[in-house]
Structures are given as C-alpha cells and as structure tokens.
C-alpha cells in the first residue's frame, strides 16, 4: 500500500470513528435528558433519530471501505446485494431524517400565512413521529431494487475471449451501471428537493425578519437580532453540507470503476458532511453541549487513575 492510500485510509477511518462517537453521544445525551425529564421534545427526538441513522451510515462506510481494501466482496454477489441495500437504506434515511428536521425548523420558526403552513404549525408535534416512520418505510421499500441491480452486475460466462464477447460484456455492464445511477438519483431526489425548499423558505423568512428588526432601530448587539443571525448561519451551514453530501453521493453512484484512491477521497468528502453537521449541532446547542461535557466528566471519573 502506497503512502497516499495509507494517509487517505487513516483520514477516512478517523472521520468515520469520530463521527460514530459524536452521533452516539448526541443519542446518549438525549436519552439522559429523557430519563431525567421523563419526556423528550419532538425536536430532540428527530435529532436523535438523525444521529442514530448517521452513526449507522458512517459505520457501514467504514466497513465498506475496509471490505473494498481487502477485496472481501469478490464474486460474492449475495453479500454485495445485502451491503448495497443496507447502504442505500441508511443513505435514504439520512436524507429523509435531515429533511424532517429542516421541515420541523421551518414550520416552527417561520410565520407564513399559508393555510398549509398554519395547519402544519398546529399539528407538527403530532405529525413529526409519523413523518419519521414514513421516511423509514419509504427508505426501506425503495432500496430493495438495489439488491436486484447488484445481482445483474455478474457478467455472463464468456468462455471464448473475442472482440464480440468483450463488447457484449461492456454493454451489459454499462447498461446496469446506468440503471443503478438512475435508481439512486430517483430515490435521493425527492427528499433533497423537499429539504432544499424548506431550508430556502426558512432562510428567506429569517433574513426578512432580521431586516425588519434592523430597520426598526434594533442594534447589532440586540439578543433577538443575534439569535436570528445565528439561526441564519446554522441553516446556511446545514444547507451547504447537505448539498455536498447529496452531490457527492450522486457523483459516487455514477463514478463507475474508480481507483482505490479516488474511492477513498469520495468517501472522505461524503462522510465529512454528516460528521461536521453533528459536531456543529453539539457546538451550537448549549443544552446539548452541557450534557455532553457532563458525560465526559462522568466517564473520566470512571477511568481508574492508579498506576498512572
């Protein structure tokens, strides 16, 4: 293994392991909050669901990159089908859960007078768990065709190596690759488009409200104005990371037979979006940050220091 591949592999594994730990910390912090308060806010439930999905996704990316490195899936088409379906389920769930979170923020924060928005604003706390369940069911049901597509990757048994047979093999492979990319794009697009619409509506509402507050004479140091600026930055950051994640996953699904180095680079960029956003959620949420710090203190007290 050359130096570049080793460095990329180290970066990818560090990112995946750190991402899994950060998302599990978010889930654990919300579980501690639920244990203490005997209830959990619907926003925290959505964040916990998203963090769980992200931790599983980062783990499967870690496992997939390791299997590609060790060539574990060679001629094992059933295992490839299962891995493809599981990966697609987690990818689709990540997109849908992030969309549910963005829609929840949009409905709760914005003040549009549309009838549909008014209805959602009054029912969002009741509807959000059903949105999460529907997202999970849609992700699972829409991902099963991937197993069938992966099985089609197996080329026909060509005993005679000739120009005709090689051309036929390439045509079958290219046709199957196009089907996989089209299916991936169709599954990924709806959730991303809903996310894009909700985030843009939220950013527009926040920005217009911020402008009205500034024109009314409130200074830049006003707590309300600062909170609105903070919300604009948070949702803009969320939008950029989600666009990177969507574009990279679509690009990877259409990249064909990539080299090992290109595959690891694609993995690193793709995993950076959920990793950075989960890290930012801890950083920007003071309550979640305090819970995580208390958890770290509790873990440090449990570690024996004798003999050190």
Q: Delimit the domains of the chain by residue range.
A: 3-293
Q: In the predicted model, what is the mean pLDDT of residues 160-182?
A: 50
Answer yes or no: is pLDDT of 7 > 80.
Answer: yes
How high is the pLDDT of residue 64?
Answer: 80
Q: Give percent of the chain with pLDDT exceeding 70.
A: 76
d(CA 185, CA 110): 30
Q: Give percent of the chain with pLDDT exceeding 90.
A: 32
How high is the pLDDT of residue 223?
Answer: 59
d(CA 122, CA 280): 29
DSSP class of residue 40 equals -
Poorest-confidence range of 63-77, 94-108, 127-141?
63-77
Q: pLDDT, tens digit, for every residue of 142-168?
A: 888 776 666 554 444 444 444 443 343
49 vs 159, more confident = 49
How many angstroms separate the Cα of 274 from the Cα of each of 17, 112, 138, 282? 12, 29, 21, 13
Poorest-confidence range of 77-81, 85-89, 197-201, 299-303?
299-303
Cα–Cα nearest to 73, from 150, 160, 148: 150
How high is the pLDDT of residue 154?
Answer: 47
HSE on the CB side for 164, CA within 13 Å? 2
Q: What confidence category does residue 209 fall into, taking pLDDT thresholds of 50, 70 and 90?
A: confident
Cα–Cα nearest to 194, from 237, 259, 239: 239
- What's the whole-model pTM score? 0.85
How big, in percent rounded to 5, are the helix, strand and coil portions of the chain?
A: 85, 0, 15
How high is the pLDDT of residue 94?
Answer: 94
Q: Which superfamily, per CATH, for 3-293?
A: Rhodopsin 7-helix transmembrane proteins (1.20.1070.10)
Q: pLDDT, tens digit, for every residue of 91-113?
A: 999 999 999 999 999 898 887 88
How high is the pLDDT of residue 160?
Answer: 43
The end-to-end CA distance of the chain, in Å, is: 37
H/E stretch holding 237 reads helix 223-253
Residue position matching structure tokens 């009054």: 122
Q: What is the mean pLDDT of the chain?
A: 80
Residue 290 is encoded by which pair of tokens? 């305090």
């Amino acid at each position: 293994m050359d130096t570049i591949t080793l460095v990329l592999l180290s970066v990818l594994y560090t990112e995946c392991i750190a991402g899994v730990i950060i998302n599990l910390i978010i889930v654990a912090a919300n579980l501690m909050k639920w244990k203490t308060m005997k209830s959990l806010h619907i926003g925290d439930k959505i964040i916990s669901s998203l963090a769980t999905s992200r931790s599983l996704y980062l783990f499967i990316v870690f496992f997939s990159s390791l299997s590609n490195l060790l060539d574990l899936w060679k001629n094992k088409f059933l295992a490839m089908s299962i891995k493809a379906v599981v990966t697609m389920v987690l990818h689709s769930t990540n997109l849908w859960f992030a969309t549910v979170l963005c829609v929840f923020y949009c409905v709760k924060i914005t003040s549009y007078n549309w009838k549909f928005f008014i209805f959602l604003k009054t029912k969002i706390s009741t509807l959000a768990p059903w949105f999460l369940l529907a997202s999970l069911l849609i992700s699972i049901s829409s991902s099963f065709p991937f197993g069938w597509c992966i099985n089609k990757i197996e080329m026909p048994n060509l005993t005679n190596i000739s120009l005709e047979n090689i051309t036929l093999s390439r045509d079958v492979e290219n046709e199957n690759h196009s089907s996989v990319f089209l299916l991936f794009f169709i599954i990924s697009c709806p959730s991303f488009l809903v996310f894009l619409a909700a985030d843009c509506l939220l950013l527009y509402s926040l920005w217009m409200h911020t402008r009205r507050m500034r024109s009314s004479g409130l200074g830049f140091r006003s707590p309300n104005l600062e909170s609105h600026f903070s919300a604009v930055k948070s949702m803009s950051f969320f939008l950029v990371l989600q666009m990177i994640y969507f574009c990279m996953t679509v690009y990877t699904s259409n990249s064909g037979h990539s080299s090992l180095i290109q595959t690891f680079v694609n993995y690193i960029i793709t995993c950076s979006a959920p990793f950075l956003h989960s890290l930012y959620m801890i950083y920007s949420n003071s309550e979640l940050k305090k819970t995580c710090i208390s958890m770290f203190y509790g873990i440090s007290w449990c570690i024996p220091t004798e003999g050190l």
